[in-house]
Structure 1
Amino acid sequence: MTTTARNVTKSVCHLDCPDTCSMLVTVEGGVAVELRGDPDHPFTRGFLCQKMARYLDRVYSPDRLLYPLRRVGPKGEGRFERISWEEALGEIARRFTQIACSADGPQAILPYSYYGTMGKLQSSSLDRRFFHRLGATILDRTICASAGTAGYEYTLGQGRLGADPMAVPHCRFIVNWGSNTVNTNSHLWSLMIQARQNGATIVTIDPYRSPTAERSDWHIQPRPGTDAALALGVMHVIWRDGLQDDDFLERGTVGAGELRTRVLADYPPERVVAITGVDRSTLESLAHRLAQEQPSLIRLNYGLQRHGGGGMAVRTIACLPALIGSWRYPGGGALLSTSGVYDFDPRRLTRPDLSPPGTRTINMNQLAEALAGELPGPPIQALYVYNCNPAAVAPNQAKVTAGLLRDDLFTVVHEQFPTDSVDYADIVLPATTQLEHVDVHGSYGHHFVMLNTPAIAPVGECRSNNDVFRALAARLEFPPELFPDDETLMRQALDGGPSLQGITLERLEAEGSIRLNLPDQYVPFAEGRFPTPSGKCEFYSERMKRDGFDPLPTYIPPHEDPQIHPGLAARFPFQLLSPPRPQFLNSTFADDPRHRGLASEPSIELSSADAESLGLVEGQWVEVYNDRGKFRSRVALTGKVRPGVVVATGIHWNKLSPGQTNVNSTTSSALADMGGGATFFDNLVAIRPFVDG
């Protein structure tokens, strides 16, 4: 009797999620037969979300792309023939060379990617080197968090530093500000529950009654896009009532006097109530409890920055912990991201020095305009898509689709599944999953470096990003030393600053994950010492003044705020928010039958009062629309939104949606105030009954 060998490999979740879970993959006879959470990881502790718990279904799905393909039908129809890798790479190399040698030059080639995988190698190493060396247009990857990161950085000196997540159980007052932590940061939520068991209060500030809001002790529901005004009102009450930490203000801040003068004069409670819709007693209580119940923590997340004033909103909220001295305590302060504490040197992996001086940059939120030839520089002749599904997730979808349909646009898509974007490709390349390639990971939700070891051989003829870019570089006769093997790249990634000292590839191969070189009790700004030009938390920022911003925190309303634009609101009376469904990760998993079944049909949540005024009933099909586009959904009267606000969770694939469009048919490619950020939640719409035909 022959016994098939079983072995267990340590893996890492690759999804764009702060938790970055450690996983154990059991392999038998070359086939992965079990995937489970790693109980020994100090932060993720063996628990996986519903998406990754069934990841093997995705790895072995019959719908996976397994071979290179070439388009044989009109763009958008998704009809292809199988070809060899030799043919696919040859065609890409030939077309890229042809474009690079044309009058428009290599800047007519646009790479388009985001964090479909968060690994350092497969997300941002040889891909960037390849396109830099080619001289292609540089993509500004701003679709998620760039506005808030910029605002946070102006204030604290680094956009991705904050409280230690592992210290959250010490907190007494926790505010999830624009954060659906239950679904988007579930392991941090478990630490918040520990804090509650120790006597803490959990508050959620969110226009939507999310699962986190439902499970919190207190839900505060402002109008969308008014978070900065609420924070300024909190500051007013704190200074008015003498709740500030004068010692920390003196030692650790710049501009406290100027900010105090502004908020006491310009943001009295009655004005803040009028802007936010939050009642005065709630505002006063929030200010008192945040200041007095220490340690207090503000967990910011990315949704609140996705409007015209999003960067300033995050900056304003980030000032609060210094005002009340929360940074003194373990677990206290603010938390947007932990990734800034990792001393990786991204330039070593991406080699921006290879890009010719003067190469243009295109903001990824403006893909629609780029494909339409509306941006400076040569027209885009080639698009290379990987780690992303722009045909579903980019804003202003109708215009994006029109660009993707151009017959003169050569499009390559490197993907695992036949996404919306694949349907517009000229060449499709099959991509590996996380179980089939190597990578090294940091995190933006904890402090561990982690190694992803391949558990199985690539399925079919799938190849990783790095393997493809090495092959293309060889075709174009780029210097081979610029495109080394993955082991060399991992060693380069780990050869960083102080927090990585002693963390070697050999240790990771033995241990799987290793905590960064940080003090056991990590309290980054207990003594002030912020990494700003002044060394202090900058309530007043000279850098912001030089960059053309108000140097003090202020309220910047959304581009499409109903109070500011009543004429527009008369035509489109609802503020539409489109947060993620827990069954999907952006558009990933939106094709999986199990996840689609759990997510159910696209729905639009609105208040009972608004439904009654429109004559709508539960379950009715409606069309949500504005001047940019439209999509269909069923009415859901969940009681989770205030009048004037509607919510459509997503992101559904267009081709699997009724009407072949999703919520991004209505979203705008207008940019936020800072960082070139996206404005997905800055979106006025109207609703009407859908009548087929």
Structure 2
Amino acid sequence: MHSNSIPLPAATPSARAPQPASLQVRGACPHDCPDTCSLLTTVENGVAIRVQGNPDHPQTGGVLCNKVSRYTERTYHAERLLSPLRRAGPKGSGRFEPVSWDTALGEIAERLKAIAARNPEAIVPYSYCGTMGQVQGEAMAGRFFNRLGASLLDRTICAAAGAEGLTQTLGGKVGMRVEFFADSKLIIIWGSNSIGSNLHFWRYAQVAKRNGARLVCIDPRKSETAEKCHEHIALLPGTDAALALALMHELITHDWLDHDYIARHTLGWPALRERALQWSPERAGGVCGVPAEQIRTLARDYGQCFVDRQPAAIRLNYGMQRVRGGGNATRAVACLPALIGAWRHRAGGLLMSSSSLFPLDRAALQRPDLLAGRTPRTVNMSTIGDDLLRPGSPAFGPKIEALIVYNSNPLAVAPESARVAQGLARDDLFTVVLEQFQTDTADQADFILPATTQLEHWDLHTTYGHTDVLLNRPAIAPLGESRPNTQVFRELAARMGFAEPCFRDDDETLCRAAFGDRVDFQTLLDQGFATLPLPEAPFADGGFPTPSGKCEFFSERLAAQGLDGLPDHLPNHEAAGSSADFPLAMISPPARNFMNSTYVNVKTLRAMEGEPVLEMHPHDAAARGIASGAVVRVFNARGDYRVKAEVSLRARPGVVNGLGIWWRKLGLDGTNVNQLTSQRLTDLGRGPVFYDCLVQVQAA
């Protein structure tokens, strides 16, 4: 326990209204997961005693993942932050003293006023998906920073490259409905460990499997999902576009093509055809590090679905886009369903994200009109390490003087974390962190403000894995002195002198504003979720939300930017085999029992994970004299990371898997795997390249 931990008081019933001794409250899972489950929280005498999946919600079906089923353990954790804290020692010492909210907000407002008087763009918000909620995420916070004129944040750290690739090809983050995977005859799970990160999709895939469907997993790592599929294609990181183009090559040469669909509903086919014919299975196999025959077999299975008029579906996820060519790779894969007319079937096509299908009114929530014509500079969250260390300049803008962190833990999750640590350690940087626990980032703060958990506030959730809107009601009163993000930014706005009426909107009002009359709010109140009225096969007759209305194999928009209008394979910044000093490629997929850096401090889940490990193939381990359990030094030009090795066939030869994302303070030397990742960006979307990373490993 940290030295400043505060004893947990007994929870008390909400002050809003008397509560019965026992009740169930409908809510929504807040985490960065495609499933966005509907929750039922059982409350007795004001205390949440159980969180379970809502059996009345078809997408949840009463089932929760291992992590969220322990949500009460997280809410009532002994180290939960329950009062505002002010730094009481040197920056980074982790030493704090409790102060009142009045003191904390007063001092924060005075510091921000002084900085804003010089240049409000010197203030930078930093947030992501610690909660996916539209209200506790960027609603009141967005209003506050827009009114202030602070720098904008380019929120790229997870899915930006794939989102841009999908948008350039299909017109947005759109796709087939997840429930219809149950009727597919071939399911390709591409760049996803669905069992650990998309459990409810996996349930549909299992229904399909029991009905005779073939399941193929494409992933450098032999994940739990790969083990349970009929076939695993263990390609090298960053070679997915080459594989997709080789599949196209085989579809073309064997004429497994829906010529009618291509002619009516696609754009740029002759040029794509010419490019794909350059990618034989032999060429792609050499790039991907897989047998050419394995590529031919997958192409034959996919093409046969067209011949037999059977639905084939691709579940594409974000693992494959965290490399230099991630946007192009997404584009290449997204072209495949149109070639065989898979979109004609409700159980065919592709799903990466469904988030563009939601008619969310972001402007009503975040009020960009409060910028009043200003255009602040934009800071990319994936390069925050370098940006915190930049001096002011005409090109960059003012030096960052204040960082306000909420819904994120950048010191653990951002790339090249040694640079992030160096930036956060600046004595002249004023840092405020809204948090539930004293994370790595919170250790570097000047003020820590205690945030509520999902059981203690209102929120409204869209999803990116299905097509339901979910409402989260508070089940219990905020513990201790914790406050929702919305309340913190309302009160800061008042102290900054922002008098606009929008800063007085309460959380329920914000929930209602998210969709206006496009989603019936009474339905959300009554059952906790509402399903969007969407067609079963959205692109059976074209109608893609692109400028042309077609699946755009060739993107005029990219060509107008001087980029290649066709998808292509772009080698990694740090391609496997390109460095004698760092001969191993490293990926850093999430540990099964953590959600990014969330849940790392939940004892039961940490016990399941054990400790940070680096998975190594037996061939690579033997060549270095490394045995399972040995401490190894993983290093490259950016840094060193000491961790225990796990010799395992989950790793393919030439690739090591550094499972994340552990808090740095729990590592052997106070670091985690992001000590090694780089701040270089993707081809599209300005995203990070976590899986585009070369290292060497030595016995320590």
- Whether the 8 Å CA contact 1:179–1:302 is kept in 2: the answer is yes
Q: What is the CA–CA distance in structure 2 between the aligned matches of 1:87 and 1:192, rounded to whole Å?
A: 53
Q: 2:64 aligns with which of 16, 34, 48?
A: 48
Q: 2:52 aligns with which of 23, 26, 36?
A: 36
The Cα offsets for residues 257-286 of structure 1, whole Å up to 9 and x where unpaired, read as 11111211x212221111111211111111
- Whether the 8 Å CA contact 1:491–1:504 is kept in 2: the answer is no
Q: 2:134 aligns with which of 120, 140, 159?
A: 120
Show the counterpart of 2:226. Answer: 213
Secondary structure of the corresponding residue to residue 494 of structure 1 = coil
Q: Does 1:282 align with 2:301?
A: no
Q: Structure 2 matches for 1:312-331, cutoff 5 A?
A: 312-331=328-347
Show the counterpart of 2:562. Answer: 548
Show the counterpart of 1:659. Answer: 669
Q: Does 1:107 align with 2:117?
A: no
Show the counterpart of 2:313. Answer: 297
C-alpha displacement at 1:169, in angstroms?
A: 1.1
The Cα offsets for residues 153-197 of structure 1, whole Å up to 9 and x where unpaired, read as 101111x11011011111000000111111110001000000111
State which drifts further: 117-126 or 267-276: 267-276
C-alpha displacement at 1:504, in angstroms?
A: 2.5
The Cα offsets for residues 619-651 of structure 1, whole Å up to 9 and x where unpaired, read as 110011111111111111111122110001110
Q: What is the CA–CA distance in structure 2 between the aligned matches of 1:267 and 1:463, rounded to whole Å?
A: 56
Q: What is the CA–CA distance in structure 1 between the aligned matches of 2:91 and 2:602, rounded to whole Å?
A: 24
Q: 1:23 aligns with which of 21, 39, 59?
A: 39
Q: What is the CA–CA distance in structure 2 between the aligned matches of 1:347 and 1:181, rounded to whole Å?
A: 33
Show the counterpart of 1:191. Answer: 204
Q: 2:386 aligns with which of 354, 369, 393?
A: 369
Q: What is the CA–CA distance in structure 2 between the aligned matches of 1:364 and 1:471, rounded to whole Å?
A: 26
- Whether the 8 Å CA contact 2:242–2:288 is kept in 1: the answer is yes
Matched residue type, 2:193: N
Show the counterpart of 2:456. Answer: 436
C-alpha displacement at 1:117, in angstroms?
A: 0.6
Q: 2:552 aligns with which of 531, 538, 555?
A: 538
Q: Structure 2 matches for 1:239-278, cutoff 5 A?
A: 239-264=252-277, 266-278=278-290
Show the counterpart of 1:584. Answer: 594
Gaps of at least 5 residues in structure 1 are none
Q: 2:637 aligns with which of 627, 634, 654?
A: 627
Matched residue type, 1:246: H
State which drifts further: 579-588 or 592-601: 592-601
- Whether the 8 Å CA contact 2:149–2:374 is kept in 1: the answer is no
Matched residue type, 1:358: T
Show the counterpart of 1:612. Answer: 622
* Identity, % of aligned positions: 49
- Whether the 8 Å CA contact 1:591–1:656 is kept in 2: the answer is no
C-alpha displacement at 1:96, in angstroms?
A: 0.3
Q: Does 1:419 align with 2:432?
A: no
Matched residue type, 1:275: V
C-alpha displacement at 1:534, in angstroms?
A: 1.1
Q: What is the CA–CA distance in structure 1 between the aligned matches of 2:569 and 2:378, rounded to whole Å?
A: 29
Matched residue type, 2:291: D
Secondary structure of the corresponding residue to residue 527 of structure 1 = coil
Q: Structure 2 matches for 1:496-511, cutoff 5 A?
A: 500=518, 503-511=519-527
Q: 2:426 aligns with which of 406, 412, 417?
A: 406
Matched residue type, 1:269: P
Q: 1:493 aligns with which of 504, 514, 521?
A: 514
Q: 2:686 aligns with which of 656, 661, 676?
A: 676
Show the counterpart of 1:514. Answer: 530
Q: What is the CA–CA distance in structure 2 between the aligned matches of 1:169 and 1:29, rounded to whole Å?
A: 41
Q: 2:249 aligns with which of 232, 236, 243?
A: 236
Q: Does 1:161 align with 2:161?
A: no
Q: Does 1:358 align with 2:389?
A: no
Q: What is the CA–CA distance in structure 1 between the aligned matches of 2:589 and 2:227, rounded to whole Å?
A: 16
Q: What is the CA–CA distance in structure 2 between the aligned matches of 1:288 and 1:644, rounded to whole Å?
A: 28
Matched residue type, 2:645: V
Matched residue type, 2:489: F
Show the counterpart of 2:412. Answer: 392
C-alpha displacement at 1:492, in angstroms?
A: 1.2
Q: 2:608 aligns with which of 598, 614, 619?
A: 598
- Whether the 8 Å CA contact 1:474–1:480 is kept in 2: the answer is no
Q: What is the CA–CA distance in structure 2 between the aligned matches of 1:623 and 1:114, rounded to whole Å?
A: 31
Matched residue type, 2:509: T
Q: What is the CA–CA distance in structure 2 between the aligned matches of 1:595 and 1:629, rounded to whole Å?
A: 28
- Whether the 8 Å CA contact 2:21–2:46 is kept in 1: the answer is no
Q: 1:457 aligns with which of 449, 453, 477?
A: 477
Gaps of at least 5 residues in structure 2 are 1-18
Q: What is the CA–CA distance in structure 1 between the aligned matches of 2:157 and 2:475, rounded to whole Å?
A: 31
Matched residue type, 1:385: V
Secondary structure of the corresponding residue to residue 32 of structure 1 = strand
Q: Does 1:529 align with 2:550?
A: no
Show the counterpart of 1:73. Answer: 89
Q: What is the CA–CA distance in structure 1 between the aligned matches of 2:524 and 2:324, rounded to whole Å?
A: 42
Q: What is the CA–CA distance in structure 2 between the aligned matches of 1:100 and 1:60, rounded to whole Å?
A: 38
Secondary structure of the corresponding residue to residue 97 of structure 1 = helix
Show the counterpart of 2:12. Answer: none
The root-mean-square deviation of aligned C-alpha atoms, in Å, is: 1.2
Q: What is the CA–CA distance in structure 1 between the aligned matches of 2:641 and 2:602, rounded to whole Å?
A: 21
Matched residue type, 1:619: G
- Whether the 8 Å CA contact 1:666–1:683 is kept in 2: the answer is yes
Secondary structure of the corresponding residue to residue 123 of structure 1 = coil
Q: What is the CA–CA distance in structure 2 between the aligned matches of 1:481 and 1:645, rounded to whole Å?
A: 55
- Whether the 8 Å CA contact 1:602–1:632 is kept in 2: the answer is no
Secondary structure of the corresponding residue to residue 10 of structure 1 = strand
Secondary structure of the corresponding residue to residue 256 of structure 2 = coil
Number of residue pairs matched by the alignment? 673
Secondary structure of the corresponding residue to residue 660 of structure 1 = coil
C-alpha displacement at 1:4, in angstroms?
A: 7.2
C-alpha displacement at 1:87, in angstroms?
A: 0.4
The Cα offsets for residues 200-247 of structure 1, whole Å up to 9 and x where unpaired, read as 001000110011100101111111100000000010111011111101
- Whether the 8 Å CA contact 2:281–2:293 is kept in 1: the answer is no
Matched residue type, 2:526: A
Q: What is the CA–CA distance in structure 2 between the aligned matches of 1:267 and 1:689, rounded to whole Å?
A: 40
Secondary structure of the corresponding residue to residue 666 of structure 2 = coil
- Whether the 8 Å CA contact 2:251–2:299 is kept in 1: the answer is yes
Q: Does 1:144 align with 2:161?
A: no
Q: What is the CA–CA distance in structure 1 between the aligned matches of 2:194 and 2:434, rounded to whole Å?
A: 31
C-alpha displacement at 1:479, in angstroms?
A: 2.3
C-alpha displacement at 1:584, in angstroms?
A: 0.4
Q: Does 1:176 align with 2:186?
A: no
Secondary structure of the corresponding residue to residue 135 of structure 2 = helix
